[in-house]
Amino acid sequence: MYKKNDKNRIFFYMCLFSIGKITAKEFCDDFYECYDILGEMDFTQQEDEVLNNLSNSYVARYTPYESDRTQFPDTFIDDIGLKKGVDMAITLLKSSLKGVAQDMQEILSLCK
């Protein structure tokens, strides 16, 4: 397993969530802790842009509570909306694999 301050942990958890091996809550909790709290990882500019968009547009807006999504439909998203965001981020990251570390290539190859 990757340490919490290893950027590959974020990519690994993105793939686990994308293929249904962890829940949305597990993904969001780990993503928040690794990316938003620990931060300061050695991301390329493109990786950081993709992850920042994922954080702000999807992870921060996820809620497991239907009542939140009903009361504020333009604010919160469900598991399906989160998965769309994660899958989009994975696609963007895969498209920039030239010159990327072998670990990241192997991790992203796990994603369907």
Contacts of 73 (CB under 8 A, 6+ apart): none
Q: Which residues of 9-46 are buried (b: 16+ CB within 10 A; e: fewer)?
A: bbbbbbbbbbeeebebeebbebbeebbeebeebebeee
Q: What is the pLDDT along the chain (112 residues), one digit of tens a residue?
A: 678 778 888 988 999 999 999 999 999 999 999 887 766 778 888 888 999 999 999 999 999 999 999 999 999 999 999 999 999 999 888 877 655 555 666 666 666 5
Domains in the chain, ordered, with CATH? Answer: 7-109 (1.20.120)
- pTM for the full predicted model: 0.86
| Burial of 101 per CB tally in 10 Å (0-12, 13-18, 19+) | middle
